[in-house]
Amino acid sequence: MAIPLAEAKLQNLDLDIEGMTCTACSRRIEKNLNKVEGVKAYVDFASEKAHITAADGVTRDQLVQVIVDTGYAVGSKRDESKTMLWRLVAGATLSVPVLALSMIPALMFDGSQWLDAALSLPVAAWVAWPFHSVALKNLKARTSTMDTLVSLGVLVAYLYGAYQVLTGGMETYFDVAAVVPTVVLFGRWLEVRTRRSATDSVRALLSAIPDATVVRRDGQQLSIPTAQVKAGDILVVASGQKIPVDASVIEGDGQIDNSLITGESVPEQVGPDSSIAAGALNVGGTLVLRAVANSANSRISQIADLVREATSQKAKISSLTDAISNVFVPSVIGIALATFAGWWLIAGDQQTGLRAAVAVLVIACPCALGIAVPVSLAVATGMGARRGVVIRHPDTLSLLSRINRVILDKTGTVTTGQLRVAAVIPVTAIEPQRALAFAAAVERGSVHPIAKAISATDESLTATSIVETAGSGVEGMVDGQRVSVSRRPASVLTNSETLNTALAEVGARTVAIVAVDGEAQAVIGLEDDLRPTAAAAIGQLGQLGIHSVLLSGDQEARVAAVAQAVGIQRHYAGVTPEHKLEVVRQLKAEDPGLVAMVGDGLNDVAALTAADVGIAMGSGTHATQSAAAITILDDEPESIAYAIRLGRKTWTNIKQNLGWAFGYNLILIPVAAAGLLNPMLSGTAMAFSSISVVLNAQSLRRRVRS
């Protein structure tokens, strides 16, 4: 008796799939995989992966064979876009002279049809092979897609043209056989290029883990691959190195830059028994750690798993052209057959019927349809690039029109993410600038982010005998006086009561205490600045009917202050990457509208992927940009509203282009069926349709500006 999937011991598999050209391909593979007993599969066209949950008795080889039998390849990692580019170059090189010889009477000569036939043959056969291949798969599966129509139209156009040349006729469609596959392949190539970048985020996340780790075993320090580290191993991590696995501190005090997880620029203090996540940067002294997990089970690996999960569970958004083609393609084939049958059975004219049927298939070839989406994307991409905005995924354009909430990570998005001296509060009669000069002198040699911010404020004094104590601060001799800069109050300071008053005045800022000869002189407050246009950006989002939410791993007081400063009513403080993901899911569940997430750090990747639209700041990590559908290259917050406006206008423009493309078909197919369409008129109409699409896409520039 078969064991139900819910009761069986399960295994999870991800398989890379090659050869998919549209969402119909992914649906076909998914359908066949789900026919296997004990298998539940989802095939993601965007990432070109099959996410499979299978019972233990199902082998990987079985699943691979199902995919191969469906007509696709698994796991060769070949770069499909390079092969496609070679076909595209060949198609463009050969199509231009064919089009010129067919459309410009002055270039025609006796026997030019033979040259057209020769030049268009490689295009109709080799350049168009991806469409022929999918058409054969569709035939096997008893279905049809736009590839079917491209393949059928190209073959009919070329074979009919060849028949005309051989029999001395003049009506040839070689220009259609050459131009259509080239133009449609160009659109397909653009789509593949944009899809590829969507699959990099997990790989970039895991690249934050160092390849090698120093461990203590049998009284010796050894460097081993991080993948071989086991829970319980003793690790040694020097200053400037990254933590290889989740661990706890057993020796040493210092600071770690944990922005990978928290997104905050202020280092965290750690000491014995402190827990540290993999990927954190040690910016203090040497730490001796005990591994609490291996690399596969580290927190950053779990975040990567969250990204995979969010990707695999995204709603499947079928492209508009695929959805329309489910009806359009069979209809065109049916009209062509009916045209031939009508001329033959009613008018008794097989020759005219054949010519009219061929004209129907040729005129329906989706040349304008093939560029309707890519040409609008090309215009939008150019416009966005000039404003520092890159829209990377076509599906995003439809989603942007329904966005009504934007979640913004604080650090690096609303603020600059760079610490700055915001206040100097004297504890004694010292001048604030003099206190800064003392602090800058001793901090100048440190790589600590707080030290860098302070040392950049003054260069008038020089320190000697500098000693940096991990977890405490820096001290040195300046003008014969011992100056120290510490991150927290020291019990040895002689004026601690006065110091506490100054510390209270600093408020929610990061603190550095300047002391001279054991007496506190001033408290320096540091913070990262608001981006100059942050408040204006929130206002622009409001004008678009979008509500903003602020999200941060920072302390409550600082997050609340930033939210108030930029005009955001709702905020969350002290959130981890996992909590950010939960906030995104919570907001998505609250309202039927869609949610966008804006972030810049690895700690934002899971939330960016789970949001309906992810927007990454350009200064953020590679993993962040890979997980996002939109990248703001210049870190300008106002570009967020511009990106949404551009996306909305572009999506409208694409729908208009599709209307032009299909409108052209709807008008001329009856003309072709009536036997009134000759090759010259067909070529002119095809050119007019394509030009209309291009001109409409160009109008996007004016519409977005207005």
What's the rounded mean pLDDT across residues 103-115? 83
Strands 254-257, 281-282: pairing kind: antiparallel
Regarding predicted confidence, which is higher, 444 or 11? Answer: 444
State whether 180 and 224 are in the same domain.
no
Taking all residues of the chain, what is their mean pLDDT, rounded to a whole number? Answer: 80
What's the rounded mean pLDDT across residues 256-266? 66
Q: Label residue 407 by pLDDT band (50, 70, 90).
A: very high
Q: Which of 28, 46, 78 is the last residue of a domain?
A: 78
Q: What is the pLDDT of residue 393?
A: 65
| Segments of 5-97 assigned E as strands | 10-18, 39-44, 49-55, 73-74
Does 636 map to a domain? no
Which of 409, 528, 604, 612 is catalytic? The answer is 409
Q: Is the pLDDT of residue 543 over 90?
A: yes
State whether 74 and 121 are in the same domain.
no
Q: What is the pLDDT of residue 704?
A: 73
Question: Could you read off the pLDDT of 554-584 as tens digits, one per residue?
Answer: 768 778 888 999 999 999 987 877 888 899 9
CATH of the domain at 280: 2.70.150.10
Exposed e or buried b per residue across 497-508, where buried means at least 16 C-beta atoms within 10 angstroms of its C-beta:
eebeebbeebee
Does residue 529 have an active-site annotation?
no
Q: What is the pLDDT of residue 684?
A: 62
Q: What is the pLDDT of residue 180?
A: 79
Does 229 map to a domain? yes
State whether 243 and 278 are in the same domain.
yes
Does 92 map to a domain? yes
Q: Which two tokens stand for residue 476?
A: 């040195």
CATH of the domain at 39: 3.30.70.100
> What phi-psi label fits residue 273: left (phi over 0), alpha (psi between -120 and 50 degrees) or beta?
left
Regarding predicted confidence, which is higher, 339 or 105? Answer: 339
State whether 195 and 84 are in the same domain.
yes
Question: Could you read off the pLDDT of 431-487 as tens digits, one per residue?
Answer: 999 999 999 999 887 767 778 889 889 888 888 888 877 556 788 999 889 998 886
State whether 55 and 94 are in the same domain.
no
C-alpha–C-alpha distance, residues 369 and 367, integer Å = 5
Q: Which domain holds residue 25?
A: 10-78
What's the rounded mean pLDDT across residues 352-373? 72
Q: Is the pLDDT of residue 199 over 50?
A: no
What secondary structure, in 3-state letters, does 129-196 show? HHHHHHHHHHHHHCCCCHHHHHHHHHHHHHHHHHHHHHCCCCCCCHHHHHHHHHHHHHHHHHHHHHHH
Q: What is the pLDDT of residue 2?
A: 46
Q: Which of 78, 96, 117 is the last residue of a domain?
A: 78
Contact by Cβ (8 Å): 51, 16: no
Q: Is the pLDDT of residue 79 over 80?
A: no
Asked which of 128-142, 521-535, 556-570 is least confident by mean pLDDT, the reply is: 128-142
Q: Is the pLDDT of residue 311 over 70?
A: no
State whether 96 and 180 are in the same domain.
yes
Question: Could you read off the pLDDT of 650-696 as tens digits, one per residue?
Answer: 888 888 888 877 777 778 888 888 888 765 566 566 667 767 777 88
State whether 157 and 251 are in the same domain.
no
Contact by Cβ (8 Å): 178, 120: yes
C-alpha–C-alpha distance, residues 288 and 90, integer Å = 60
Q: Is the pLDDT of residue 272 over 70?
A: yes
What's the rounded mean pLDDT across residues 486-500? 72
State whether 179 and 228 are in the same domain.
no
Does 436 map to a domain? yes
Nearest-10 Cα torsion for 18, 87, 144, 76: -10
Q: Label residue 318 by pLDDT band (50, 70, 90).
A: very low
Contact by Cβ (8 Å): 483, 463: yes
Question: Could you read off the pLDDT of 206-234 as tens digits, one per residue?
Answer: 677 888 889 998 888 888 888 888 888 99
Q: Is the pLDDT of residue 537 over 90?
A: yes
Does 139 map to a domain? yes
What's the rounded mean pLDDT across residues 43-59? 78
Regarding predicted confidence, which is higher, 7 or 373? Answer: 373
User: Comparing C-alpha atoms, which of 383, 677, 635, 688 is closest to residue 529?
Assistant: 635
State whether 228 and 181 are in the same domain.
no
Q: Which of 297, 313, 341 is the last residue of a domain?
A: 297
State whether 145 and 192 are in the same domain.
yes
- Residue 382, classified by CB atoms within 10 Å of its CB into exposed (0-12), middle (13-18) or buried (19+), is exposed
Q: Is the pLDDT of residue 273 over 90?
A: no
Q: What is the pLDDT of residue 312?
A: 47
Segments in 298-348 forming alpha helices (H): 299-312, 320-345
Q: What is the pLDDT of residue 269?
A: 82
C-alpha–C-alpha distance, residues 325 and 319, integer Å = 10
3-state secondary structure of 511: strand
What's the rounded mean pLDDT across residues 604-613? 88
C-alpha–C-alpha distance, residues 493 and 489, integer Å = 8
Asked which of 417-421, 507-511, 516-520, 573-577 is least confident by mean pLDDT, the reply is: 507-511
Length of the chain counted residue by residue: 706
State whether 451 and 497 are in the same domain.
yes
CA distances from 633 to 617, 620, 626, 643, 679 (A): 6, 9, 13, 11, 47
Q: Is the pLDDT of residue 303 over 70?
A: no
Q: Is the pLDDT of residue 195 over 90?
A: no
What's the rounded mean pLDDT across residues 112-140? 89
Regarding predicted confidence, which is higher, 334 or 317? Answer: 334
Does 52 map to a domain? yes
Q: Phi first, then psi: what are they for 349, rounded to 5°?
A: -125, 90
Helices (H) and strands (E) in the chain, counts: 25, 26
Q: Label residue 542 by pLDDT band (50, 70, 90).
A: very high
Percent of the chain scoring above 70 in pLDDT: 82
Q: Phi first, then psi: what are they for 425, rounded to 5°?
A: -110, 110
CATH of the domain at 512: 3.40.1110.10
Does 628 map to a domain? no
What is the count of structural domains for the chain? 4
State whether 41 and 144 are in the same domain.
no
Q: What is the pLDDT of residue 260?
A: 60
Does 629 map to a domain? no
Q: Label residue 290 by pLDDT band (50, 70, 90).
A: very high
